[in-house]
Amino acid sequence: MVSRVSIEPAPSTVTAAAADRQLGRPVAAYRPDLASSGARTALWVIAVAAALLLVVGLTTGSLVAIIVAVPFLALFGYQAISREYVRGRVQGTALHLFEYGLVKTEQDGSVAPMRYDSTTMWFRFVVHKQTNGYVTSRKFHMHLTDLVTGRVCELYGFVDGQTWSDSIRRGVFDARQPTLVQQLGEGRPLTFGPLVISPAGLEAKGKSVPWAAVRDVTVDGGLGSIDIQGKRLPWFVATTEEVPDFDIAVHLIRSGLRPGGN
């Protein structure tokens, strides 16, 4: 298994791009999370064995063989195919984090530099494995858009997903939150996908509610909901995939609920 976090010097194309965008000192670099050959072989062996058992069941009319084969084929066949797909998409890429942004190297050798203070972000994480009710593995996916160049950058499939995704979320939050708070304080409404936050309150899906009626904002994993006075059901529900800069939006709403506002 290769080192999970690279300590090797970044390629010259990466350092040049980082210098051009003034990203500061390098922080960490992450390689693709490529499954070991043994794990890949095991998945395919189980999937093929299940497929053969299903064929035997169908040709012989054995209901037991069919019942046993179908769930194994569905589970391990899907995992084998999906892992090969992700492997093909991320092999040869790398993620380099810097003080003020990141650089992703693509399969064709091109680089995608992004500054945290000019990046809008969507993200999601999917529970990948549970043991005795506890989450033991997650898969992370981020969609970044550079507000200056319009460049789009997809991040997924790198080792230590929790670490690099938390670093990027924190970097974007710290870099953009003060400016957005200032804009809101100046009376400018801020749009976060389907949600609009303004000094007067919140607006979503053609409905508005004043700050005095907003009771709480709740975040559970990748889902956020806003509760208002006099309503048992949430007034607004959305995932982190639907609301760009989700962390900043939650912070602004919670700030608006405190005495003194933002």
Asked whether residue 81 falls in the same domain as residue 97, the answer is: no
pLDDT one-digit tens code per residue, 68-111: 777 766 665 656 556 555 555 566 789 999 999 999 998 788 89
Asked whether residue 65 falls in the same domain as residue 152, the answer is: no
Asked whether residue 99 falls in the same domain as residue 18, the answer is: yes
pLDDT at 57: 78
Asked whether residue 160 falls in the same domain as residue 236, the answer is: no
Asked whether residue 165 falls in the same domain as residue 240, the answer is: no
pLDDT one-digit tens code per residue, 135-167: 444 568 899 999 998 999 989 888 888 899 999
Confidence of residue 189 (pLDDT cuts 50, 70, 90): very high
Asked whether residue 106 falls in the same domain as residue 165, the answer is: yes
Asked whether residue 133 falls in the same domain as residue 11, the answer is: yes
**What tokens appear for 88 in the block?**
């093909």
Backbone angles phi, psi at 205, to 5 degrees: 55, 40
Q: Which of 181, 197, 232 is the last residue of a domain?
A: 181
Domain assignment present for residue 212? The answer is yes
pLDDT at 77: 61
- Domain with 230, as residue range(s), is 189-257
pLDDT at residue 133 tops 70: no
pLDDT at 7: 46
- The SS3 assignment for 211 reads helix
Domain assignment present for residue 138? The answer is yes
Domain assignment present for residue 262? The answer is no
Domain assignment present for residue 14? The answer is yes
Over 94-110, what HEC string results?
EEEEECCEEEEECCCCC
Asked whether residue 124 falls in the same domain as residue 252, the answer is: no
Q: What is the CA radius of gyration of the chain?
A: 23
Over 114-151, what HEC string results?
EEHHHEEEEEEEEEEEEECCEEEEEEEEEEEEECCCCC
Close Cβ partners of 187 (under 8 Å, ≥ 6 residues apart): 199
Mean pLDDT score of the chain, rounded to an integer?
A: 82
- The SS3 assignment for 208 reads strand
Asked whether residue 24 falls in the same domain as residue 126, the answer is: yes
Q: Give me the sheet containing 214-220, strands edge to edge.
A: 214-220, 223-228, 236-239
Whole-model pTM above 0.85? no
Asked whether residue 177 falls in the same domain as residue 195, the answer is: no
Structural domains in the chain (count): 3
Whose tokens are 């997903």? That residue is 161
pLDDT at 138: 58
Q: Which of 24, 53, 88 is the last residue of a domain?
A: 88
pLDDT one-digit tens code per residue, 190-205: 999 999 999 999 999 8
Averaged pLDDT, 6-10: 61
Asked whether residue 26 falls in the same domain as residue 111, the answer is: yes
pLDDT at residue 16 tops 70: yes
Listed in sequence order, the DSSP H helices in the chain are 12-20, 37-60, 63-90, 161-185, 246-257
pLDDT at residue 36 tops 50: no
Asked whether residue 78 falls in the same domain as residue 102, the answer is: no
Confidence of residue 247 (pLDDT cuts 50, 70, 90): very high
Lowest mean pLDDT among 47-61, 138-152, 217-231: 47-61
Q: Rounded distance, CA 127 to CA 247, Å?
A: 19
